[in-house]
Amino acid sequence: MAGAAWPLSAASALLPAPLSLTLLLGSLVVVLALGVAAVFLEHIRKIGCMHSIERSAVSDAFFEDPGSLKKVPCPSIFDPAEKYISLIVPAYNEECRLPEALTETLNYLKQRSSVDKSFTYEVLIVDDGSTDCTSKVAFEYVKKHNIDNVRVLLLGRNHGKGEAVRKGMLHSRGELLLMLDADGATKVTDLAKLEAEVRALAGKAKSSLAPSASSPQRLSDVEIAVFGSRAHLEKQALATRKWYRNFLMKGFHLVVLLTAGPGIRDTQCGFKMFTRSAARKLFTNIRLKRWCFDVEIVYLCKHLRIPMAEVSVSWTEIPGSKVRMTSILHMVFELLLIRVGYGLGIWKIYS
């Protein structure tokens, strides 16, 4: 029996040197892989814990009125709608691109409001910890258009676009909620296309209800998500981009397909519209705070059975993009978080 308890060094001495080295390297690789997996799973668990805390926390966020210097309490997505539409604009260091986009947006909204008095609106600019004069620029629009129509939410430090959109959605007052980028790459007039699609899907949902449903269903109560899409511009983009960027984007789209499944061709377009009830479910569940929250939205829509549609929108490349080649690696990492977090049941989906 004593021979069965040989030390590892004695056993390895009987093996050929190349085989012994291979076993040692193999053991190190296994230990390293297990360590990385443990750290990765712990990271996913912490994200889930933070999400649980955020869901149960009472928000102390407020809007600041530069006219009266008073603090206006933030509304909640759980409150009844007070406006027809809310536009959420996430902004990080956008002092240069924001003015043109806001001017165009507000001119369009005012024009529609003058024609249709039921078209009430708010624009909510979420300053994601900017280090330039983004907040100063935004507050100038609050002074000009009053705090009932334009509001600024300051996050204090940079969290990421996903968190800025989430916070904006959770503190909006609209029946319809539209997220759009601060660069104005998509024309705000295209919101009418998404709006029409929302109404079309809502009509189908209402017609499928049981005849006994007597009370009319409001638009804000129907769960619908409509995504602006640049997929129709793909051929033109492929022709103008560098080959390696096309290679990376094709690879990224493949990983997105494996993560969220088919159905939405352009998950990353920053022009998306939700009904209030859909936004309530989606943005109280979302975990990712930076690049791939769009993919997580698609994933959640499928699992929560929220109807989705994709609508082609006009889009123009605006100089100053914050997406870098290294961002692709971060995106792939976040896609892996989605797959593992939800796939293993570490992240719960609340309905």
- Name 342's Cβ contacts closer than 8 Å, sequence gap at least 6: 299, 303, 349
Q: What is the pLDDT of residues 32-68, one digit of tens each?
A: 888 888 888 888 888 888 887 777 665 667 788 887 7
pLDDT for 227 = 97
Selection from 54-63, 194-203, 263-272 with the highest mean pLDDT? 194-203
pLDDT for 32 = 86
Beta strands in 130-180 (DSSP E): 150-154, 174-179
Looking at per-residue pLDDT, the higher value among 34 and 7 belongs to 34
- Name 234's Cβ contacts closer than 8 Å, sequence gap at least 6: none
**CA 159/CA 161 separation, integer angstroms:** 7
Cβ atoms within 10 Å of 27's Cβ, excluding its own: 10
| Full-model pTM | 0.84
3-state secondary structure of 203: helix
**CA 102/CA 95 separation, integer angstroms:** 11
**CA 62/CA 38 separation, integer angstroms:** 39
- Name 186's Cβ contacts closer than 8 Å, sequence gap at least 6: 180, 228, 269, 270, 271, 313, 314, 315
**CA 270/CA 282 separation, integer angstroms:** 16
